[in-house]
A and B are shown apart, each in its own frame.
Chain A
């Protein structure tokens, strides 16, 4: 069965510091991988997605993620955190059921300290 593990339910960084949110996945077939962001009182929005075209994926708001098959990881990074990045971030994998079943991680809340 496919699964996602997000290490760290809460991450705090200073404004201007590197953001690193960790995601490891498990699937029996090559997966599609996604990062979604959830701002307070809103639904989830797509940040970026990996679909096997390139291992380094660039998303919105300066975020990027690198697919590493050998480590089964898809960590999310941003070189310099902004206050507006404070939100909850979800990693998701789609592999089963013809790639239509999406399984989400438990989420990481990012706090940005001024």
Chain B
């Protein structure tokens, strides 16, 4: 089954404790992206990657890091989480074969930073 898998689904942590949220897709998609969803703000892009070893900042990259060492994986790293990073995070992927390729989303990771 074609899917984007994020782990964990729920994460509670404390300020300053480094964490990683994993994302993996099995559709051989070139494009992968991270979004955060906050009430009243919709989805905002954090980082995106057009292919292996190619990453770039989205609209709200501060406090986040990503890497793309393999095509299927795109982990999101919070080196020193803060309470304002409490949010619902989504990983998404799409093919770059055709401009109208839709995004495929994971089921989300709800992060709470205390």
List the interface of chain A (C-beta within 8 A of B).
Answer: 9, 32, 34, 36, 41-46, 49, 51, 90, 94, 98-107
Contacts and interface: CB of A to CB of B under 8 A. Distances in A.
Interface residues of B, number: 23
B100 A44 contact: no
Interface in B66-114: 90, 92, 96, 99-100, 102-103, 105-108
Contacts of A101: 45
Contacts of A41: 107-108
A98 B42 CA distance: 22
A44 B42 CA distance: 12
> Which residue of A43, A44, A104, A105 has the most chain B CB atoms within 10 A of its CB atom?
A43
3 tightest A-B CB contacts, nearest first: A43-B105, A106-B42, A51-B100
B99 A42 contact: no
B74 to A, nearest CB: 15
Contact of A90 (B31, B42, B99, B102): B42
B97 to A, nearest CB: 12
Contacts of B43: 44, 90, 104
